[in-house]
Amino acid sequence: MILSLKYGTLDNQTCEALLKYPPLWIHVEDPFAEIKEDARKAESKHILNLIYEFMRFALKQWVIEYGAIVRAQPRLKSYLAQRGTVDKLRSYLLEANDKIPDYVDSWCPDKCSFIKQLPDIPMGGSKT
């Protein structure tokens, strides 16, 4: 969902360009490659780490808001797997994206939505 909000339809050309984007290409060549600590900073342009940090931030906020409801569930895995819960999480992530301009961290330094801060990728498909 996050990738499609930034890059549009994830067709073959877009996916190929994403996979050939240098910060991601290293994981295509070696899926177990270590991600450097500085990849958390926005200027690193490491798409996966930026998305991870955004989702971590948003989910912490979600747990603060809905934690009592979640903890009250007798079957946590079943509750988290319900379509309604997944839809709530998805809409919460979209709301968090709009709230990001009010929040500054090393992974989100600019005063704009998180999605706009993801790097542009060259669509030619070259590994540069």
Is residue 77 a part of any domain in this protein? yes
For residue 49, the enclosing domain spans 2-117
pLDDT at 126: 42
- Which pLDDT tens digit goes with each residue over 53-103? 888 888 888 999 989 999 999 998 999 899 999 999 999 988 888 776 666
Is residue 30 a part of any domain in this protein? yes
Is residue 69 a part of any domain in this protein? yes
φ and ψ of 108, to 5 deg: -145, 70
Euclidean distance between CA atoms 22 and 43, whole angstroms? 14
Concatenate the DSSP letters of all residues of 16-71 into one string.
HHHHHSHHHHHHHH-TTPPPPGGGGSGGG--HHHHHHHHHHHHHHHHHHHHHHHHH
Is residue 22 a part of any domain in this protein? yes
Number of structural domains, the chain?
A: 1
pLDDT at 87: 93
Is residue 125 a part of any domain in this protein? no
pLDDT at 52: 82
**Helices 22-29 & 47-71 angle (0-180, nearest 10):** 80
Task: Note the pTM of the prediction, 2 decimals.
Answer: 0.70
